A and B are shown apart, each in its own frame.
Chain A
Amino acid sequence: GQNIDQPTEMTATEGAIVQINCTYQTSGFNGLFWYQQHAGEAPTFLSYNVLDGLEEKGRFSSFLSRSKGYSYLLLKELQMKDSASYLCAHSIYYGGSQGNLIFGKGTKLSVKP
């Protein structure tokens, strides 16, 4: 089956660094995505890993270990506007699946001054 686990909530301080972890179990793995979602809005793409290792994109980095079924999103120099939910999702591609995303429940990050 498909399963994704991530912490429900996290709190961090403006200017700090925060790491949001995600573990998953799946077959037919085709990539790990991180999306940001502000309340009442659509998910917006942050980062994508298909191979093991670290992908860096400005203040955001994402890491993947396929053997461990583990990923994390690292946010540096936190800003108040980073307060949002962060969604971990994996893409599956097997048995006719066309890359549909399976999402975790999201981690609600609160950034405090």
Chain B
Amino acid sequence: EPEVTQTPSHQVTQMGQEVILRCVPISNHLYFYWYRQILGQKVEFLVSFYNNEISEKSEIFDDQFSVERPDGSNFTLKIRSTKLEDSAMYFCASTRAIQETQYFGPGTRLLVL
């Protein structure tokens, strides 16, 4: 059964450093999302991406964040200058159509020191 994959599974970085989180959505899916979950808190929407551009972004997704689909399979989230409060689990999700189920990847646990 196809699934969303994410790399790395864990990332430790120093405050101020740039990180790139990678996702490979399910191959026939058209809509892509990034969510984050700070430890012990709820899953929060960051950004949606469709047709090679951002569809919507939340207040969390400020100028330090960017997304890219550099080729036909990868979908990346970049944090330019990490802050301590960026420490969280980051989930990528994809779906074939807006009305359909979003499938989540296993997540990348980011720790900013």
Give the B-binding residues of A (Cβ under 8 A): 30-31, 33, 35, 40-45, 48, 50, 87, 89, 91, 93, 96-106
Contact = CB atoms under 8 A, between A and B. Distances in A.
Given A42-B91, A48-B101, A50-B99, A100 B48 contact: yes
B44 A43 contact: no
Nearest to B58: A100
B105 A98 contact: no
Given A43-B43, A96-B55, A105-B42, 12 more contacts: A40-B89, A42-B105, A45-B101, A45-B103, A50-B99, A97-B56, A98-B48, A99-B95, A99-B102, A101-B33, A103-B42, A105-B41
A48 B103 CA distance: 12
Interface string B53-94: 001101000000000000000000000000000000101010
Contacts of A41: 106-107
Contact of B56 (A33, A89, A98, A105): A98
Contacts, number: 66
A30 B103 contact: no
A40 B10 CA distance: 12
Contacts of B33: 100-101
Interface in B1-42: 31, 33, 35, 41-42
A98 B98 contact: yes
Nearest to A2: B45
Contacts of B35: 101
